[in-house]
């Protein structure tokens, strides 16, 4: 599901991951965690090969038919698996879960069409649409049959023929056919968000052969994961959209086929989803033990404190916590002391968000990497972590942080082989130790770091006159940090204070969500904060985030404006890598080039998830390997609710 990206900080919620350039997010169920392919993980925490039944596709050169797809041909679960291992198949159905919005536009929404550029989409819309296949929380890059009961792959892996289940239905009872699948592919390529158009560029066409067979033809230049992407696209009703403009905003709930449908909503305040009791795929193995809440409600808040008071009073009953100060000091209220509210940290094997302040290098004042590095030296992470975030975070240094894809030490011979063609065209640093932001003295005003920053600025031709630092053209150096909320201000303001010590006028511009979105689309900003989901199996989304073509595309997600032949070539190598080892080598090489470019000021991460909730839920003993499973595999527990006198 395409979502507007926003910063993740200890003082604001994260975005629903733009995993694989937002496309694979459509695999996720309404609750966004257990139902979809989870984020990447540390290789050391992968299941051993013998831990579960494995089914492998034949090597390239042989055609095959299977009940699922993966990046490398291996599926952990056999054809007739009863349910995913991390769910409770007997979980009861009932109750309502109420959450704050943690994706897209956090403050408001004005459209129920989440797949186009126009408007700010309501949270949770992906749960109203099914896809051909659904992801597993135990595998980082595999999908199993949902609308499709099986798939045939050609020997050259360019043709994938999906056989649909005849029982698949839209919510109005009409049959979901191959024509709907082909239409969905075509309309996303033609009118979908630019990220869809970019990531589907190498998918040539979809053909509805008969009602229950649709075939996708991929180009010879296809990326490694393109078959997973087309298997995970949302499926729309061709008949429904034949009389409507797909590219427009709408407050008419679109016809879907998923486990939930849109219920009550009020623009800018809340949206509810009602469980579809006669959902056609309710008892399929990929759905067993999930989608157990009768109603799911997302609440919108413009003020963080108002939101937390709503949680304390029970208006919200499930809360993912991102505010370190609240986690440390905010839970001294009656319901928590009495045990009616619980807190838990849940560790996962998923890669953390990749988060930072990105420079808009399209602007001349940020063209010199020495200037960008100098600005980064003004951010004192050690002080920020200790004084504002209670020491709960670690510094992000890599675009593949906390995964085996992170570049460390000198390049291996295999990395050098990829990098050598660009010697002289990329910084010499790429061929040595990767850049790591220096550790400050924790004072909040590390004079050594600021002296180094000023030296870099001087080298780049900037001059200080009194209290003002001037660019080479004589203009004062001014930086505006763009955001649509104030949650990052406690972290940004000390950073800006250090910039002012260097003679830079650094300010924040807080705009309403619609204006923020519009400025992102037009690349009208100096610096913007972004959080993106990490991955162990990166693919075509790298083009969208860091590719040169995306930098030139209005509404694209290459917010830094990275325009580098070396980056483009390494991205293509990763996309076409045939083994995980090749991906790892390519990603480490790419990491070196991106870090040498000083395109961002990296922020922070945590290896665990924090949850607070009223004690009315139960969950399986074992969460998915690559997510916390919360709240997607949880259910409403009537006995617990009665025990605490729950009236919600």
- Asked if the structure places residue 596 within a domain, the reply is no
Q: Is 417 part of a structural domain of the chain? A: yes
Q: For residue 543, is it within any domain?
A: no
Query: What are 590-641's pLDDT values in tens digits?
Result: 999 999 999 999 999 998 999 999 999 999 999 999 889 999 999 999 999 9
Are residues 481 and 344 part of one domain? no
- pLDDT classification of 29: cutoffs 50, 70, 90: very low
- Residue 63: the pLDDT is 82
Average pLDDT over residues 643-647: 94
φ and ψ at residue 448, rounded to 5 degrees: -65, -45
**Average pLDDT in the 547-555 region?**
93
Q: Could you give the CA distance from residue 17 to residue 534 in angstroms, rounded to a whole number?
A: 9
pLDDT score for 513: 79
Are residue 100 and residue 138 in the same domain, yes or no?
Answer: yes
Question: What is the extent of the structural domain holding 405?
Answer: 358-534
Report the domain count for the chain.
Answer: 2
Residue from 438, 440, 434 nearest 399 by CA: 434
Higher-confidence residue of 209 and 556: namely: 209
| DSSP-derived 3-state class of residue 113 | coil
Quote the tokens at residue 470: 């001037």
Both 331 and 436 in one domain: the answer is no
CA dist., res. 498 & res. 457, Å (int):
14
Task: Please give the DSSP secondary-structure letter assigned to residue 57.
Answer: P
What is the average per-residue pLDDT within 222-232?
92
* Of 517, 534, 551, the domain-final residue: 534
Picking from 508, 534, 560, the residue at the C-terminal end of a domain is: 534
Q: Is residue 480 over pLDDT 80?
A: yes
What is the structure's pLDDT at 31? 30
Nearest to 559 by CA among 593, 521, 597, 596: 521
CA atoms within 13 A on the CB side of 67: 12
- pLDDT value of position 60: 57
CATH number, position 174? 3.40.190.10
Q: What is the CATH number of the domain that holds 521?
A: 3.10.105.10
- Residue 2 token pair: 């395409």
Asked if residue 646 is part of any domain, the answer here is no
Secondary structure E strands in 175-255: 203-210, 213-218
pLDDT digit string, tens, across residues 204-216: 999 999 999 999 9
Question: What count of other Cβ atoms lies within 10 Å of the Cβ of residue 63?
Answer: 14
Q: What contacts 269, CB < 8 A, 6 or more positions away? A: 299, 300
The stretches of 507-579 forming alpha helices (DSSP H) are 513-521, 541-546, 548-551, 565-576
Residue 602: name the closest of 400, 325, 368 by CA: 400
298 and 330 inside one domain = yes
Q: What is the pLDDT of residue 198?
A: 85
Residues 396 and 424 in one domain: yes
260 and 409 inside one domain: no
Same domain, 449 and 504: yes
Whether 328 and 371 share a structural domain: no
Model pLDDT, residue 106:
58
> Do 433 and 327 share a structural domain?
no
Contact in structure between 607 and 353 (CB atoms under 8 Å): no
How much is the average pLDDT of 241-247? 97
Per residue in 266-276, pLDDT (tens digit) is: 998 999 999 99
389 and 324 part of one domain = no
Are 333 and 450 part of one and the same domain? no
Let me know if residue 539 belongs to a domain.
no
Q: Which of 488, 529, 531, 487 is nearest to 352 (CA)?
A: 531
Q: Tell me which residue has tokens 């979105």.
A: 517
pLDDT of residue 3: 31
On the question of pLDDT at 351 being above 50, the answer is: yes
Q: If you search the block for the tokens 């602007």, which residue do you land on?
A: 363
Q: Is residue 553 part of a domain?
A: no
Among 534, 558, 585, which residue terminates a domain?
A: 534
How many angstroms separate the Cα of 53 from the Cα of each of 41, 47, 139, 605?
20, 11, 13, 34
> Is residue 363 domain-shared with residue 347, that is, in the same domain?
no
DSSP for residue 245: -
Looking at the chain, the whole-number percentage of residues with pLDDT higher than 90 is: 78
Confidence of residue 349 (pLDDT cuts 50, 70, 90): confident
Mean pLDDT of all residues in 279-283: 98
Q: Is residue 591 part of a domain?
A: no
* pLDDT value of residue 20: 27
Is residue 582 in a domain?
no
Across 297-305, average pLDDT:
90
Residue 527: both structure tokens together: 């610096």
- Tell me how far apart the alpha carbons of residues 226 and 219 are, in angstroms, rounded to a whole number: 10
Tell me: pLDDT of 56 over 90. no
List, edge to edge, every strand of the sheet that includes 148-153. Answer: 64-66, 148-153, 159-164, 213-218, 203-210
- Which residues partner with 144 through β-bridges? 68, 134
């Amino acid at each position: 599901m395409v979502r507007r990206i926003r910063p993740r900080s200890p003082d604001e919620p994260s975005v629903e991951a733009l995993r694989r350039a937002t496309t694979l997010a459509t695999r996720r169920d309404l609750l966004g965690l257990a139902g979809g392919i989870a984020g990447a993980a540390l290789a050391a925490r992968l299941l051993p090969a013998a831990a579960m039944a494995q089914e492998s596709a034949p090597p390239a050169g042989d055609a095959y038919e299977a009940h699922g797809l993966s990046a490398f041909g291996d599926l952990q679960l056999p054809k007739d698996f009863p349910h995913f291992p991390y769910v409770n198949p007997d979980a009861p159905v009932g109750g309502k879960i109420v959450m704050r919005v943690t994706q897209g536009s956090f403050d408001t929404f004005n459209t129920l069409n989440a797949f186009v550029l126009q408007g700010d989409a309501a949270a949770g819309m992906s749960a109203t649409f099914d896809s051909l296949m659904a992801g597993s929380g135990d595998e980082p890059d595999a999908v199993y049959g949902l609308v499709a009961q099986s798939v045939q792959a050609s020997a050259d892996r360019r043709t994938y023929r999906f056989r649909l289940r005849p029982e698949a239905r839209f919510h109005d009872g009409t049959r979901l056919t191959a024509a709907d699948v082909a239409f969905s592919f075509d309309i996303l390529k033609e009118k979908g968000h630019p990220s869809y158009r970019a990531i589907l560029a190498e998918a040539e066409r979809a053909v509805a052969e008969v009602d229950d067979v649709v075939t996708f033809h991929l180009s010879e230049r296809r990326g490694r994961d393109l078959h997973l992407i087309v298997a995970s696209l949302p499926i729309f009703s061709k008949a429904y959209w034949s009389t409507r403009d797909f590219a427009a905003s709408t407050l008419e709930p679109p016809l879907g086929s998923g486990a939930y449908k849109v219920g009550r909503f009020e623009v800018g305040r809340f949206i509810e989803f009602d469980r579809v009791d006669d959902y056609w795929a309710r008892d399929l193995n990929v759905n067993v033990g999930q989608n157990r809440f009768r109603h799911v409600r997302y609440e919108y808040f413009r003020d963080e404190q108002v939101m937390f008071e709503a949680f304390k009073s029970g208006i919200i009953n499930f809360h993912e916590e991102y505010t370190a100060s609240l986690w440390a000091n905010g839970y001294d209220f009656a319901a928590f002391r009495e045990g009616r509210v619980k807190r838990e940290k849940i560790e996962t094997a998923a890669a953390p968000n990749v988060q930072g302040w990105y420079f808009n290098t399209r602007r001349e004042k940020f063209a010199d990497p020495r200037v960008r590095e100098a600005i980064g030296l003004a951010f004192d992470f050690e002080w920020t972590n200790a004084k504002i975030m209670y020491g709960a975070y670690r510094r992000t240094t890599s675009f593949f942080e906390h995964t085996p894809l992170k570049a460390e030490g000198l390049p291996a011979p295999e990395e050098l082989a990829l990098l050598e063609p660009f010697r002289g065209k990329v910084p010499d640093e790429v061929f040595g130790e990767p850049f790591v932001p220096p550790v400050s003295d924790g004072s909040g005003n590390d004079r050594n770091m600021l002296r180094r920053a000023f030296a870099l600025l001087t080298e780049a031709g900037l001059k200080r006159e009194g209290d003002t630092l001037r660019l080479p053209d004589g203009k004062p150096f001014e930086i505006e940090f763009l955001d649509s909320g104030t949650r990052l201000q406690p972290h940004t303001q000390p950073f800006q204070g250090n910039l002012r010590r260097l003679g830079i006028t650094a300010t924040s511009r807080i705009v309403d969500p619609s204006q923020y979105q519009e400025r992102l689309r037009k690349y009208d900003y100096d610096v913007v904060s972004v959080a993106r989901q990490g991955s162990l199996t990166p693919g075509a989304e790298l083009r969208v985030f860091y590719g040169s073509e995306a930098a030139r595309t209005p509404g694209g997600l290459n917010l830094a404006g990275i325009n580098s032949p070396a980056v483009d070539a390494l991205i293509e190598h990763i996309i076409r890598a045939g083994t995980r080892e090749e991906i790892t080598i390519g990603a480490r090489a790419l990491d070196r080039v991106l870090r040498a470019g000083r395109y961002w000021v990296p922020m922070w991460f945590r290896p665990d998830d924090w949850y607070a909730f009223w004690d009315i839920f139960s969950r399986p003993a074992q969460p998915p390997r690559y997510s916390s499973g919360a709240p997607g595999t949880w259910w409403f527990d009537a006995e617990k609710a009665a025990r605490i006198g729950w009236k919600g």
